[in-house]
Structure 1
Amino acid sequence: MVDHDALTRDDPQCAVAAVPAGGVAVYRGWMLRSDQYTAFTEALTARGVTLRTNSDQYCRAHELPGWYPSLAPVTPTSTWTTSAQRIAFDQARTRLGAGAAVLRDYTKSMKHHWSEAAFIPDLLDPTTAWQIATRFIELRADDFTGGFVLRAFEHFTTAEVRTWWINGACALIGAHPDTPDELPPADVDLTTLTPLIAALDLPFVTVDLAQRDDGTWRVVELGDGQVNDRPTTVSPHDFATALLTDALAHR
């Protein structure tokens, strides 16, 4: 019902022309920049449609600086810049300290280009660190969002697990879409995480987890549930049933 291409060329009225007027809606589609999502919500509002996730909530879920402060105890130590300038990058690198780090921007890493654009072996090596940052910018190109984010490297021993949350309650646990056949263990411990997610007061998010080498489950990423994919090992029927059941239970 939504023309994503029209959204990304900044024509939100055209993008929502096929959406029936009136009611409350949940978007399921490709990722949008926060400013595009704001324009999207405004175009829908003009049609009498209210998105369940407002633009402020989307931004807080979609961009790391929005959710990191609340989840700092359960995710790798992070710092970030507000630009792509080298001086800002070096200041952030110095703030994080020594050791290895993972580089990303506010919304995405280049983990599939691990050695050239994601993993910084030594924060005290400014030349190599900046080479990796430069390559990251080249690969992200126009999709570069916000600024650099540097996250302290932690050694994980499991594939990532994707969890789905509605109104602060976990509705579904499954594999990560990048590793759909690596199913999560039965003992994923959400005890510490649950009150932290609830306190974020976000209606629909995903939280990707991995187990650190000391056995602790750590948050790798939080994202808006509307724009995050499901693994192929979770059927569309099971996915929709789990989310609808939990949504109805927490109305």
Structure 2
Amino acid sequence: MRFLYPCDPFDKKKPGEAYEEDFLAAQAAGLSCSLYSAEDFEQGEFRPNPSFSEGDEIIYRGWMLTPDNYQKLQNAIEAKGARALTTSAQYQHCHYLPEWYSLCEDFTPKTVFLSKDADFSSSLLTLGWSAYFVKDYVKSLTTSRGSIAENVAEVFEIVALIEKFRGQIEGGVCVREYENLLPDTEERYFVFNHIAYAGDGVVPKIVRIIASRIRSPFFSVDIVHNSDGQPRLIELGDGQVSDKKKWPADRFSEIFIG
């Protein structure tokens, strides 16, 4: 098993600043690590350092990629004689909300999936929801406007702002039924090889159930409690591009040590 991190754009021998702590913790735990230039990769050049050994299993830990770009990375890894732990299909399965929604529908807010050019009025007004949470297949709006729409007109507004500030609507539009969630209760868990892990060592039952349903080797699970105290699944993500949030770097590295 070998980890692949993006290097510093100005010094290819150093990890990028955003991943330096993770990289050093992984090395301290005895995990094999390589660096690569994301900028060179975009130009068609892939030179991991140290280079891969034949048959290495590669876990990427870097910037969020589109499924198409992840497929290119998987192809580049395989061209070096190694193997990506997570296939492009598995990456998309956790990266795009519609891919996992039906498997976890009982734990997460009701959601409808629409194209960015859809007639939101005809699609949403019959639902009877008091408000809507709007995002694309991957991310929500991160400006001060937020992602909660009180009416259909505001859904149009949020979709336009996502496209403006992020440059695109990735995949399509997800409109979720608004629930009264308590943001201070949000926790991120990781699942590696079907075993769920918590930063504090305490894995809730809901996370263990989700771990048994999702067919991906490494993914994140975000849980938040609602105003009734019930745990709710807010998001899954591919573990390779999920920030460790509150997790100490050394604790995060421990989940990969048998």
> Could you tell me the TM-score, scaled by structure 2's length?
0.78
In structure 2, the gaps of 5 or more residues are: 1-34
CA distance in 1 between counterparts of 2:143 and 2:91 reads 27
Aligned pair count reads 221
Contact 2:132 2:155 survives alignment (8 Å): no
Q: Secondary structure at the match of 1:26?
A: strand
Q: How does 1:131-142 map to 2 (within 5 A)?
A: 131-142=157-168
What runs of 5+ residues in structure 1 fail to find an aligned partner? 175-185
Task: Give the letter aligned to residue 88 of structure 2.
Answer: S
Aligned with residue 54 of structure 1, among 55, 77, 87: 87
| Cα shift at 1:189 | 6.7
Q: Which amino acid aligns with 2:100?
A: W
Partner of 1:151: 176
State which drifts further: 157-166 or 49-58. Answer: 157-166
Larger strand percent: 2
* Aligned 8 A contact 2:196 2:211 in 1: no
Q: 1:91 to 1:169 in 2, by over 3 A?
A: farther
Q: Using the alignment, how far apart are the partners of 1:96 and 1:53 within structure 2? A: 37
The answer to whether the 8 Å contact 2:53/2:82 transfers is yes
Give SS of 2:129's match: coil
Higher helix share: 1
Q: Which residue of 2 aligns with 1:113?
A: 143
Structure 2 distance, partners of 1:141, 1:71, is: 29
1:96 positional shift: 4.2
Q: What is aligned with 1:43?
A: 76
Partner amino acid, structure 1, of 2:166:
R
- Per-residue Cα deviation, 1:110-164 (whole angstroms, up to 9, x for no partner): 1x325x3511013xxx33331222222212214x201111111111124210111
1:117-132 to 2 correspondences below 5 Å:
117-122=146-151, 126-132=152-158
Structure 1 residues 97 and 146, CA gap change in structure 2 (3 angstroms)? farther
TM-score calculated relative to the size of structure 1: 0.80
Structure 1 residue 4 corresponds to structure 2 residue 34? no
The Cα shift of 1:99 comes to: 1.3
1:219 paired to 2:233 = yes
In the alignment, which residue of structure 2 is the partner of 1:30?
63
Q: Alpha carbons of 1:147 and 1:167: their partners in 2 closer, same or farther (altered >3 Å)?
A: same
Matched, 1:239 2:244: no
For the aligned residue pairs, the C-alpha RMSD in angstroms reads 2.2
Cα separation, partners in 2 of 1:218 and 1:155, compared to 1, 3 Å: same
Question: SS of the residue aligned with 1:128?
Answer: helix
> Residue 201 of structure 1 corresponds to which residue in structure 2?
215
In 1, the alpha carbon distance for the partners of 2:220 and 2:37 equals 24
2:117 equivalent in structure 1: 85
SS at match of 1:15: coil
Residues 61-100 of structure 1: pairs in structure 2 closer than 5 A:
61-81=94-114, 83-87=115-119, 89-94=120-125, 96-100=127-131
CA distance in 1, matches of 2:122, 2:46: 41
Go from structure 1 to structure 2 and tell me whether the alpha carbon gap of 1:102 and 1:44 turns closer, same or farther (over 3 Å shift): same
Equivalent residue for 1:178?
Answer: none
Q: Would the aligned equivalents of 1:167 and 1:204 in 2 still touch at CA under 8 Å?
A: yes
Q: 1:189 to 1:39 in 2, by over 3 A?
A: closer
Change (3 A) 1:44 1:194: same
* Contact 1:80–1:150 (Cα < 8 Å) also in 2: yes
